[in-house]
Amino acid sequence: MPDPSTLAPAAPLAGATSFSQQPRSFTRSRLLRSRFNRVIPGGAHTYAKGDDQFPEFMAPYLVRGQGAHVWDVDGNQFVEFGAGLRSVTLGHAYEPVVQAAQRQMELGTNFGRPALLELEAAEEFLAFTQAGDMVKFAKNGSDVTSAAIKLARAYTGRSLVAVCQDHPFFSVDDWFMGTTPLQAGIPEAISHLSLKFRYNDLASLETLLAAHPGQVACVIMEVEKDQAPLPGYLAGVQALCRREGVVLIFDEIITGFRWHNQGAQYCHGIRPDLSTFGKALGNGFSLAALAGRRELMERGGLEHAHERVFLLSTTYGAETHALAAARAVMQVYRQEPVVERLYELGERLALGFNQSIASHGLAPYVQLMGRPCCLSYATRDAAGQPSQAMRALFLQETTRRGMLCPSFITNYSMTDEIIDQTVDSLHEVLGIYRRALDEGVENYLEGRPLKVVYRRYN
């Protein structure tokens, strides 16, 4: 038998009028699973891409992407609504971005002194986002959120961190993972330094700060996730932070370059002390940014008389091809209505999906959440409880029809036709979901349910 990893994917199907008419086999992906898990812990480099997050017999390994589509080792074509974990807003292999990165790679990617491009990209980023006076680039969201925590602690001289517990992920580092069930390898003493508060519950934050007077260095939260902030909530958070001398950090890793060119903070009119950006900044190229007020950011520099902060010192944080990609992304955003189009596509999808939910009588059991530019969904069983088995069934049936949709994240390369085909296919999927509720999911699900990421044991 030939090595499945060396086989080229079949050509994409042409002229298909419905996702459901495209036959699919996952033979080669199934053969690769043991090889992946033998050499890569968990079989993937991101937990959200792990085998336990996808249907047991429909977990494709991908080989390429173009625009709104990806192809796997079996030659299957999918509309990819995962958007590279929300990092791809323009589309896969988006030509202006790829060309900018390629041109820069031919000039060198990493040097022993700062490249002029680092200054140009920093100035453009600050002008584009209006997120502060200074910026420092890195490769991952975890890099910059952890740097923000360190900076806030150095600036305030305090140790405690207030973390919004309704926002699922901030960092792989100990200060955050110690707040989750995945605490193996994290000293208990570090876990005690992070405290939780609830989103849209100003009293919970006020109580936390009152219980630890003068000890909390910062509040870190997403501006908005699946639910919008209540009127006055974000302003109340900022007022509390200013009153108590606490640094306010907005994690815009997801919302930046998706909610608005200037991020979700612009949408709600609240500028924090520090902001973190990533994901869509490079349209899939590895780049993240920490930005904020000069008074704080300069503590990581050379032109102050305070104790030095070893803020971010990354060998690859300013790789020139990633910075060139980010400049190209910002240029596209300046010239074209990217964010507006993301909203339009999401609204079109949400309208059709919600109509199907209603027609199948599934309103209590399937729920679409979030802004149109960044939709997610909840799956519930017949008792109305969150169900990983029903989620597995939903993903099984959408994957079978040529959609990879752990969420419904639109990108700029999608078309109205793709969205309409998606809506038609989702109507079929919801019909099966309805029958599974009535007759038992075990009669329709092939394989085991999915698992939540944050669990103590496998």
* Average pLDDT value for the chain: 94
- How large is the average pLDDT for residues 148-175? 97
Tally of domains in the chain: 2
- In this structure, are 155 and 301 located in the same domain? yes
Domain membership flag for residue 344: yes
Q: Please give the single-letter amino acid code of residue 338.
A: V
- How large is the average pLDDT for residues 213-232? 97
- In this structure, are 345 and 302 located in the same domain? no
More confident residue, 4 or 259: 259
Domain membership flag for residue 101: no
pLDDT of residue 24: 85
Q: Does residue 250 have a pLDDT over 60?
A: yes
- In this structure, are 298 and 371 located in the same domain? no
pLDDT of residue 14: 36
Domain hosting 58: range is 4-92+337-443
Domain membership flag for residue 375: yes
pLDDT of residue 8: 37
- In this structure, are 229 and 133 located in the same domain? yes
Domain membership flag for residue 327: no
The pLDDT tens digits for 393-449 are: 999 999 999 999 999 999 999 999 999 999 999 999 999 999 999 999 999 999 999
Domain membership flag for residue 457: no
More confident residue, 54 or 2: 54
- In this structure, are 251 and 309 located in the same domain? yes
- In this structure, are 194 and 236 located in the same domain? yes
Model pTM above 0.75: yes
What is the CATH number for 221? 3.40.640.10
Q: Does residue 16 have a pLDDT over 90?
A: no
Query: Given CA atoms 84, 86, 91, 94 in this order, what sign does their dihedral have?
Result: negative
What is the CATH number for 344? 3.90.1150.10
Domain membership flag for residue 284: yes
- In this structure, are 285 and 401 located in the same domain? no
Domain membership flag for residue 458: no
Domain membership flag for residue 328: no
- In this structure, are 378 and 257 located in the same domain? no
- In this structure, are 23 and 130 located in the same domain? no
pLDDT of residue 301: 95
Q: Give the C-alpha separation, 327 to 185, whole Å.
A: 39
Q: Does residue 355 have a pLDDT over 80?
A: yes
- In this structure, are 122 and 270 located in the same domain? yes
- In this structure, are 286 and 369 located in the same domain? no
For residue 99, CA distances in Å to 33, 103, 113, 286 come to 33, 6, 24, 16
- In this structure, are 341 and 307 located in the same domain? no
